[in-house]
Chain A
Amino acid sequence: MANQNSNAGKVVIIDTSCANLSSLKFGIERLGYQVEVSDKADVIKSADKVFLPGVGAAGAAMEIINGKGIPQIVRELEQPVLGICLGMQLMTEFSAEGNVDCLGLIPGQVKPLQAEGLRLPHMGWNTLSQISDHPLFEGITGQDYFYFVHSLCVNPSEYTIAQCEYGQAFSASLCNGNFMGVQFHPERSGKSGARVIQNFLEMKA
């Protein structure tokens, strides 16, 4: 549980209205942290840690968050921001899903997963490889399983801090300065996922 030495500070989930917000909220609360869900600029800007969740199709999601003015708010954030699943994909420059411009926080593009005859979506528990020493993955090894569910992906690049493999290698996690993202759902990935959420919340800004 969170203690007085916690680095988490104020935690905010951006209300993207296109995501399963409650499961992420519950996942954070299970670890003993308080969290607020908001789409208001002042609330998001005043947070110490920010989550950008997303589920569904990139085109529809960008339409919703553009309508709420969220891109402008997020681009100005200097505190740690963690995009989850589609939220991570939206942090890149462009998605082939609906051919939409994304937030451009992390260089890269979202493309269909080349699963080489394997079933799509890539759905279920998978392990990571090429796990960097980034603090987000402290205590995480190639033995930890995470829950993935997606059909598009970001190819590995210099911004990739962990990979996963399903027909092809792809970015399980990206990082560009304070902007981080994970393709898997940490809030649905048992103890391993809880560790990643905790690592993010306890990260020193």
Chain B
Amino acid sequence: MLARRIIPCLDVKDGKVVKGVKFRNHEIIGDIVPLAEKYSEMGADELVFYDITASSDSRVVDKSWVSRIAEKIDIPFCVAGGIKTIEDARIILEMGADKISINSPALANPELITELNRRFGQQCVVVGIDSFFNKEHNQYEVYQFTGDETRTQKTNWTTFDWIKKVQEMGAGEIVLNCMNQDGVRQGYDIEQLKLAREACNVPLIASGGAGAIEHFIDVFQQADVDGALAASVFHKSVIEMEELKNVLINNKVEIRPC
């Protein structure tokens, strides 16, 4: 049976892995390649590298580390951050990334999703969505340029309309980052992810809020997501990969053992 995926996310800033709370106050966690190797050996199913500065300050992701990672690890990985053109994507995929993830550039130009799909295939086109629950409007809203708080802005898209749109355009996977939960380790946003699941026929990855093993059990059992992404709980060894996977297996979640 297809296993649910555990996906450590490594936020990259100026060539280092960093972690911020609610997208702010980044602290350095370590160097990219040794951390990638460590997570791969620990039993991660996939890795995401997200250059959190790239989209907001108009740089393309610094690519030199992509091939160094591809050389070392034997699990799939995705690169996100500032990929705006077919050419940007081609370079990153050629260096050995398995997928590319686009977020703000997809909002600026949804056609890009279709173009990437046609050129490289649906399987490597991931769309990241930063979603914030607006209590005033009582709806989930999509944000862009979240890597830089001075430029972060609300778009006109509601989250579930955008989820439908990116699938129509040819996305192969959706990572839904629930901003209200990000970095606070209070659990995934199960309610929102359930609604997203109903709207999503491609693999759906939950992001934002993981703080304890129970949160992973909940998100797989209740929201039926294909993968769960997390950062700080792994960086700070709050959760050990092997224990996490064993507990999930004991709770009848289909998981690739370490």
A residues near B, CB below 8 A?
A: 20-23, 26-27, 29-30, 55-57, 60, 86, 118-127, 145, 147-151, 165-166, 185, 187-191, 193-194
Leading 4 A-B pairs by shortest Cβ distance: A56-B121, A145-B256, A22-B96, A149-B123
Contact of B227 among A118, A124, A150, A193 (CB under 8 A): A124
Query: What are 30 A-B contacts defined by CB distance under 8 Å?
Result: A20-B98, A21-B94, A22-B95, A22-B96, A23-B70, A26-B96, A29-B71, A56-B121, A57-B121, A119-B200, A119-B201, A119-B226, A121-B123, A123-B173, A123-B203, A123-B226, A124-B3, A124-B5, A124-B45, A124-B226, A125-B256, A145-B256, A147-B76, A150-B123, A165-B1, A188-B76, A188-B98, A190-B40, A190-B75, A194-B74
Q: Which residues of B contact A22 (CB under 8 A)?
A: 67, 70, 94-96
The reply to whether B202 and A20 form a contact with Cβ atoms under 8 Å apart is no
The reply to whether A119 and B203 form a contact with Cβ atoms under 8 Å apart is yes
CA distance A2 to B133 in the complex (A): 55
Q: Which residues of A contact B98 (CB under 8 A)?
A: 20, 23, 149, 185, 188
Contact of A120 among B96, B202, B204, B256 (CB under 8 A): B202
The reply to whether A124 and B93 form a contact with Cβ atoms under 8 Å apart is no
* Chain A CB within 8 A of B172 CB: yes
Residue from A20, A21, A187 whose CB has the most chain B CB atoms within 10 Å: A20
The reply to whether A123 and B94 form a contact with Cβ atoms under 8 Å apart is no
The reply to whether B1 and A126 form a contact with Cβ atoms under 8 Å apart is yes
The reply to whether B2 and A166 form a contact with Cβ atoms under 8 Å apart is yes
Contact of B75 among A123, A147, A150 (CB under 8 A): A147
The reply to whether A189 and B74 form a contact with Cβ atoms under 8 Å apart is yes
Residue from B2, B40, B120, B201 whose CB has the most chain A CB atoms within 10 Å: B2
Residue on B with the closest CB to A121?
A: B123
A147-B75, A190-B75 known; 18 other A-B pairs, CB under 8 Å? A23-B98, A26-B70, A26-B72, A55-B123, A56-B120, A86-B121, A123-B172, A123-B203, A124-B3, A124-B4, A124-B45, A145-B256, A149-B76, A149-B123, A185-B76, A185-B98, A187-B74, A188-B76
**Shortest Cβ distance from residue B38 to the other chain A in the assembled complex, whole angstroms:** 14
Q: Which residues of A contact B72 (CB under 8 A)?
A: 26
The reply to whether A121 and B75 form a contact with Cβ atoms under 8 Å apart is no
The reply to whether B1 and A120 form a contact with Cβ atoms under 8 Å apart is no
Q: Which residues of B contact A120 (CB under 8 A)?
A: 201-202
Contact of B2 among A21, A125, A151 (CB under 8 A): A125
Given the interface pairs A124-B45, A125-B3, A125-B256, the reply to whether A151 lies near B203 with Cβ below 8 Å is: no
CA distance A150 to B124 in the complex (A): 10
Residue from B70, B119, B121 whose CB has the most chain A CB atoms within 10 Å: B121
* Chain A CB within 8 A of B192 CB: no
* Chain A CB within 8 A of B180 CB: no
* Chain A CB within 8 A of B122 CB: yes
The reply to whether B122 and A151 form a contact with Cβ atoms under 8 Å apart is yes
CA distance A148 to B2 in the complex (A): 9
Q: Which residues of B contact A23 (CB under 8 A)?
A: 70, 96, 98
Q: Which residues of A contact B76 (CB under 8 A)?
A: 147, 149, 185, 188
Given the interface pairs A22-B94, A123-B226, the reply to whether A190 lies near B74 with Cβ below 8 Å is: yes
**Shortest Cβ distance from residue A110 to the other chain B in the assembled complex, whole angstroms:** 14
Given the interface pairs A20-B93, A26-B71, the reply to whether A126 lies near B122 with Cβ below 8 Å is: no
Q: Which residues of B contact A60 (CB under 8 A)?
A: 118-119
- Tell me which residues from 76 to 124 in chain B have a Cβ below 8 Å from any Cβ of chain A: 76, 93-98, 118-124
CA distance A174 to B188 in the complex (A): 41
Q: Which residues of B contact A147 (CB under 8 A)?
A: 75-76
Q: Which residues of A contact B95 (CB under 8 A)?
A: 22
Contact of A55 among B3, B121, B200, B204 (CB under 8 A): B121
CA distance A120 to B96 in the complex (A): 23
**Shortest Cβ distance from residue A124 to the other chain B in the assembled complex, whole angstroms:** 5
Residue on B with the closest CB to A61?
A: B121
CA distance A29 to B67 in the complex (A): 14
CA distance A29 to B202 in the complex (A): 33
Given the interface pairs A20-B98, A55-B121, the reply to whether A124 lies near B74 with Cβ below 8 Å is: no
Contact flags (1/0) for B116-143 with A, using CB distance below 8 Å? 0011111110000000000000000000
The reply to whether B3 and A126 form a contact with Cβ atoms under 8 Å apart is yes
